[in-house]
């Protein structure tokens, strides 16, 4: 049995047995991991509010080795993110952040970038400046940190460099991980139409610091196009393929709902 100590963020938890709780964390030093909080559901328990979702804490856990679940020894709150649990919109957005990380990260794989991103993402949501934009920027960055880096600067097939303004019709392919010009749109996978402005915005985002990217002010139309692109990219990454992403050649989509 070894002792593990790490900064962590609570992703969620479920009841376990009569009085315990099984809690999932994303940690800075050990990636995603689960631990049992003994007696956490008793009226009097030593964990207090430290195991509430979104809590940034310092976790001390006894590892038991093999497939056995570790036991949470101590969880000290660094920042509770209490305000995110006080209104429905914040709960919904913060829950989406932790759910995406739960889905997209394998257990035990260390990724300090994703840990920092989640902490920054929750902090920016808490500031309530532009929560919808914060959410979109978080998803964009998470996709990149998961190792999926779409190519926005040139056509995937003919390598035409998009300089802006000249190419009006562009298409994004989640399965190819990049953009196609109108002449090369006969790609075998499904294609999502996108505007030049959205392509340029996503290209700029990829090269920009996450917090600084909150200064950008994409139009509502661009945000809508990004939402469709991210939704389909996440479906592709998590393997939740629909007929839209069938391997058999299908006519390119002109519009995606």
Among candidate residues 123, 10, 147, 124, the one with its CA nearest the CA of residue 72: 10
Helical (H) or strand (E) element with 12 = strand 2-16
Residue 161 or 220: which CB sits closer to Zn ion? 161
**Least Cβ distance, residue 169 to Zn ion (angstroms):** 11
Among candidate residues 69, 140, 77, the one with its CA nearest the CA of residue 107: 69
**Least Cβ distance, residue 167 to Zn ion (angstroms):** 9
**Least Cβ distance, residue 156 to Zn ion (angstroms):** 7
CA gap 231, 234 in Å, rounded? 5
Stretch near Zn ion under the rule CB under 5 A, chosen from 38-46, 77-85, 127-135, 159-167: 159-167
Among candidate residues 95, 177, 94, 105, the one with its CA nearest the CA of residue 128: 94
The residue count for the chain: 257
Residue 131 or 177: which CB sits closer to Zn ion? 177
CB atoms closer than 10 angstroms to residue 201: 22
Site pattern 30..49 for Zn ion (x: CB under 5 A): --------------------
Site pattern 168..197 for Zn ion (x: CB under 5 A): -------------x--x-------------
Restricted to residues 97-156, the positions that interact with Zn ion (CB under 5 A) are: 155
Give Cα separations from 256 to 31, 49, 192, 196, 253 (angstroms).
Answer: 35, 43, 7, 17, 7
Residue 184 or 200: which CB sits closer to Zn ion? 184
Number of residues located near Zn ion, criterion CB under 5 A: 6
Please tell me whether residue 157 binds Zn ion under the rule CB under 5 A.
yes
**Least Cβ distance, residue 82 to Zn ion (angstroms):** 51
CA gap 93, 116 in Å, rounded? 17
Please tell me whether residue 79 binds Zn ion under the rule CB under 5 A.
no
**Least Cβ distance, residue 222 to Zn ion (angstroms):** 22
Among candidate residues 220, 217, 167, 213, the one with its CA nearest the CA of residue 193: 167
**Least Cβ distance, residue 226 to Zn ion (angstroms):** 22
Tracing tokens 């995606």 back to the chain, one arrives at 256
In the complex, which residues of this chain contact Zn ion (CB under 5 A)? Answer: 155, 157-158, 160, 181, 184
């Amino acid at each position: 049995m070894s002792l593990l100590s790490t900064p962590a963020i609570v992703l969620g938890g479920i009841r376990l047995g009569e009085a315990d709780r099984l809690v999932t964390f994303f940690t800075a030093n050990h990636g995603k991991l689960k631990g049992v909080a003994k007696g956490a559901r008793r009226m009097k328990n030593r964990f207090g509010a430290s195991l509430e979702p979104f809590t940034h804490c310092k976790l001390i856990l006894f590892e038991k080795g093999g497939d056995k679940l570790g036991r949470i020894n101590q969880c000290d709150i660094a920042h509770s993110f209490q305000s995110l649990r006080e209104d429905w919109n914040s709960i919904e957005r913060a829950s989406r952040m932790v759910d995406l990380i739960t889905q997209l990260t394998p257990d035990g794989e260390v990724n300090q970038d994703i840990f920092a991103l989640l902490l920054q993402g929750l902090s920016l949501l808490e500031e309530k400046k532009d929560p919808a934009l914060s959410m979109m920027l978080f998803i964009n960055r998470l996709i990149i940190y998961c190792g999926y880096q779409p190519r926005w600067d040139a056509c995937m097939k003919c390598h035409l460099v998009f300089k802006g303004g000249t190419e009006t019709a562009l298409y994004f392919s989640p399965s190819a991980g990049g953009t196609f010009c109108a002449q090369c749109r006969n790609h075998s996978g499904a294609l999502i139409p996108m505007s030049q402005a959205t392509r340029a915005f996503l290209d700029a985002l990829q090269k920009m610091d996450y917090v600084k990217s909150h200064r950008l002010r994409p139009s509502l139309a661009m945000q809508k196009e990004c939402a469709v692109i991210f939704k389909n990219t996440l479906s592709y990454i998590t393997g939740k393929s629909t007929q839209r992403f069938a391997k058999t050649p299908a006519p390119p989509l002109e519009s995606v709902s």
